[in-house]
Chain A
Amino acid sequence: MALIRSPVQEVAFTVQRRTPAPLHALDVAHIHGLYAERYPLFQQLDPLPPMQLHPTMEAFIEFGGQNLRYWFASEDSKFLCQLQHDRFGLNWRRLAPSTVPADYPGYADLVERFMRELEVADNWLVSRGSDAVPAIAELYYMNAVELGDRRISRLLRFFTPVDKRPLSNFQFTLRSPLPLEGEALGFLETACHIGADVRGLPVLFVSFISRMPIGESLSLNAAFDLMHDAVSENVRIVFTEEVLESFK
């Protein structure tokens, strides 16, 4: 895999199914067996709340804690399958500074890999008589750009400083509808904040979270392509030419 320059730190593809299917311990052991060759690392975590398409308010009530989330990670920890009673996901992580060229596979490879891994889980679900019909798709990107001694206005196109006082905090979130044939079905959320990376250096984090409903009018593949197009467009809107040029 060729090393490329990119600000992408993490990408996650997730699909939430129409009908949740409770997973028992033996189920999980069996499913991990299907993935273990590519994803040998196993971890059990608390569940995530159901994904909403219009999350003006998100509430989560867990009864008895019977539903857990499971991670199957690759040996280098860069690829991760997430399994929960109501969803399946695939994450890719950079695990290196954005200044170091990464073995980032790119969207086309990742979506193909996601669909391949999803099929394994779906086939298992169907074989035991469960419903594997997708309901909501989510595409998530986290980007990191080292600030160095640059001002934020050199990195973000929409940021115009009016004085030279140092910023002590900066957070920004914008949610916009994702239209399909004129109808706003899903959304794209852009969020920026300043943090520090593991070396203690100031970093500008910019995330994109997009969700679309899956149904007769929109297949899973088409939804991911649509969300990816929206994210790609937003990258060009959010970042300045200086940032875009630095990652070419």
Chain B
Amino acid sequence: MIIDLATLYPTAAAVEQRLLRSNAPVAKPKAGQAGAGVDTSLLKEKISAALALRDGWNGPRSLAPSAEIAYRVEYLVTSALQGLESPHLPFIVPMSCGGLQVEWHRNGADLEVAFLGSGEISGLFEDRVAGGEIESEGTEAIDLLLRNARRVAQKTDNARDVPRPAPHQPVTVAA
């Protein structure tokens, strides 16, 4: 391949364009931007598998998940898991209405958020340790996802709020 910079910047001399970092890495999405913080390739694979379905996949009236719902699910799950190292990704379950359901069942809790084909959203969070259960819809269901995804997706089981000795003391360094 040939990348012709003269073609890219035909008026290079006039505007004194210059390469500041010719070996710079490709700019990765920043944390404030889509796809940042979480390796989304596996999540995309899971959603992609659901998107491979066609209308009628679960009976004559069943609908295939729509791309718009898939994009939104990817964005919200990625956003909810930002900052977590190697998070457990959720089950992505296709729904007959053309929606997708996001599910975790771990760390002593169940989190299920359904993005229905109609555009409605409903959520359920059940804390099996503390015994609480929350059901919500719409914006509150998304809030449920954003607030509780870390709890069910993180590798370390922190479901029990019992003080335990830390395996490593945090390093304190003077400023």
Which residues of B pack against A, CB within 8 Å?
1-5, 7-10, 15-21, 24-27, 29-34, 37, 41, 44-45, 47-48, 51, 67-68, 70-72, 74-76, 79-80, 82-83, 138-139, 142-143, 146, 175
Distance between Cα atoms of A162 and B4 in the complex (Å): 12
> 11 A–B contact pairs at CB < 8 A?
A40-B139, A41-B146, A46-B82, A75-B139, A77-B72, A97-B71, A142-B34, A175-B24, A179-B16, A187-B20, A196-B41
- Does the CB pair A198–B83 fall under 8 Å? no
- Does the CB pair B17–A69 fall under 8 Å? no
Closest to A191 in B: B27
Residues on A with C-beta less than 8 A from B15 are 179
Distance between Cα atoms of A188 and B166 in the complex (Å): 46
Q: Determine how close the nearest CB of chain B comes to the CB of A83; give it in whole angstroms.
A: 11
Q: CB < 8 Å: which of A40, A96, A179, A191 contacts B67?
A: A96
Residues on B with C-beta less than 8 A from A46 are 31, 82-83
Residues on B with C-beta less than 8 A from A238 are 8
- Does the CB pair B18–A177 fall under 8 Å? yes
Q: CB < 8 Å: which of A77, A158, A179 contacts B4?
A: A158
Distance between Cα atoms of A179 and B17 in the complex (Å): 9
Q: CB < 8 Å: which of B32, B51, B76 contacts A69?
A: B32
Q: Determine how close the nearest CB of chain A comes to the CB of B97; give it in whole angstroms.
A: 19
- Does the CB pair B142–A91 fall under 8 Å? no
- Does the CB pair B48–A200 fall under 8 Å? yes
- Does the CB pair A45–B138 fall under 8 Å? no
Q: How many residues on the A side are at the interface (Cβ–Cβ under 8 A)? A: 59
- Does the CB pair A160–B1 fall under 8 Å? yes
> Which among A12, A14, A198 has the greatest number of chain B C-beta atoms within 10 A?
A198
- Does the CB pair B70–A198 fall under 8 Å? yes
Distance between Cα atoms of A142 and B159 in the complex (Å): 38
Distance between Cα atoms of A179 and B146 in the complex (Å): 42
- Does the CB pair A63–B175 fall under 8 Å? yes
- Does the CB pair A237–B8 fall under 8 Å? yes
Distance between Cα atoms of A96 and B71 in the complex (Å): 6
Q: CB < 8 Å: which of A91, A140, A174 contacts B8?
A: A174
Q: CB < 8 Å: which of A12, A159, A175, A196 contacts B3?
A: A159
Residues on B with C-beta less than 8 A from A18 are none
Residues on A with C-beta less than 8 A from B70 are 198-199
The 9 closest A-B pairs by CB, nearest first: A200-B48, A171-B26, A158-B8, A191-B27, A95-B71, A175-B20, A176-B17, A198-B74, A160-B2
- Does the CB pair B27–A189 fall under 8 Å? yes
Closest to B72 in A: A95
Q: CB < 8 Å: which of B24, B34, B83 contacts A93?
A: B34
- Does the CB pair A91–B33 fall under 8 Å? yes
Residues on A with C-beta less than 8 A from B82 are 45-46
15 A-B pairs besides A97-B67, A237-B9 with CB distance below 8 A are A40-B143, A41-B142, A41-B146, A43-B146, A45-B37, A48-B32, A63-B175, A91-B33, A100-B68, A158-B3, A174-B19, A176-B9, A187-B20, A198-B67, A199-B51
